[in-house]
Amino acid sequence: MRYVDEYRDPARVQALIEKLRADAAMLPYSADKPLRIMEVCGGHTHAIFKFGLDQLLPDNIEFIHGPGCPVCVLPMGRIDACIDIASRPEVIFCTFGDAIRVPGKNGSLQAAKARGADVRIVYSPMDALKLAEQNPSRSVVFFGLGFETTMPATAITLKQAKRRNLRNFFFFCQHITLIPTLKSLLQRPDNGIDAFLAPGHVSMVIGTPVYSFIARDYQRPLVVTGFEPVDVLQGVSMILEQKIARRSRVENQYRRVVPDAGNPTAQQAIAEVFCLQGDGEWRGLGVIQDSGVQLTPDYRRFDAETHFRPAPQRVGDDPRARCGDVLTGRCKPAQCPLFGRVCNPQNAVGALMVSSEGACAAWYQYRCQECEV
């Protein structure tokens, strides 16, 4: 506990806040036109709200809550395809807990389970593999989603399935990649992003040099940051120091976890099993070029969509919901007309309200007393 407490120490937090206030006063930003820092990861968003870090910052610094929560960007059509597969009597459909409540046009996997589908929550893809071995007469489908953080575990599981020659184990691929997403955000003319706090968990796998284009081509500072209060505030402080020095660099605050080279073993496992190519659809953001993930030819026999051929689904989001605007910093969660009224954790209309790491769910949990709901 002492190791964690070090990064939650009130004295260190107070010292960082005082430094931020002094540094922020040296910058040409105001409360009307603040320095806008996008924290990419949903884990950062949750930490910021949980510890009230946004309320401790000087009024000329603002957080933008980015698209780094994989559950939050699940397209409705992909959920409907999962429901199509899960509803078949021979299928055991395995998913992580957050994804079971994400709404599609035809309800959620949780609703499909209530209607009789055999949908099970697992904590690891290896749990699904074990179910396939225990149920040789059933088809077991694992719903794989997430950024590069979760891809190595999926890759290792699929390698085990191939080694064991399992014929009843399948994989529904909803993995997505981070770097094309950041590039897409920066290419939007109205992005309004001045700097980035990059996710520690993803960076632990992919390393830090992959972010260099952000500083080089777009002149935006980026700091890879941990998830405790001291981590986040140190990351912001490093950004301010870059702004004062009028430079843009990629820096690593989270060195106790993230080596600059990332994890070569995990990278190799990903490369053996996945093709990081093709366009990917993101809920609230549309289609992002080169952000999709597919299985390599050696592992394509495990592809659930090829095997079960669910009906193609392309479903638009509720036009009243402003999920995309929240993800790109054009509005705050409470400015969405559905927030807290129609859309809440018990009745999520948008995926940002489903996961605890979603910006809307975090705002609802920690800031709802400020909202007229």
pLDDT at residue 353 is higher than 50 = yes
CATH of 72-177+276-308, one of 3.40.50.11740, 3.30.2290.10, 3.40.50.720, 3.90.1150.60: 3.40.50.11740
**Mean pLDDT computed over 169-183:** 94
Percent over 90 (pLDDT), the chain: 70
How far is it, in rounded angstroms, from Cα 88 to Cα 186?
A: 42
* Tens digits of residue pLDDT in 92-109: 999 999 899 888 888 899
pLDDT at residue 40 is higher than 50 = yes
Q: What is the pLDDT of residue 1?
A: 42
Fold observed for domain 2-68+179-252: Rossmann fold (3.40.50)
Please list, in sequence order, all residues whose beta carbon lies within 8 angstroms of the beta carbon of residue 359, skipping any fewer than 6 positions away. 42, 45, 65, 69, 72, 326, 327, 333, 352
Q: What is the pLDDT of residue 302?
A: 98
**Mean pLDDT computed over 173-192:** 90
**Mean pLDDT computed over 272-297:** 88
| Pairing label, strands 274-275, 294-295 | antiparallel
The tokens for 217 are 């081509």
> Mean pLDDT score of the chain, rounded to an integer?
92
How far is it, in rounded angstroms, from Cα 373 to Cα 334?
A: 9
pLDDT at residue 318 is higher than 80 = no
Q: Where are the domains of the chain?
A: 2-68+179-252, 72-177+276-308, 318-370
Report yes or no: 361 and 71 within 8 Å, Cβ to Cβ. no
Altogether, the residues listed in the chain come to a count of 373
Closest to 349 measured CA to CA, from 307, 327, 373, 317: 317
pTM: 0.91
**Mean pLDDT computed over 226-234:** 97
Q: What is the pLDDT of residue 373?
A: 45
Judge whether 2-68+179-252 and 72-177+276-308 match in fold.
yes
Q: What is the pLDDT of residue 72?
A: 84
How far is it, in rounded angstroms, from Cα 357 to Cα 353?
A: 9
Banded model confidence at residue 222, pLDDT cuts 50, 70, 90: very high
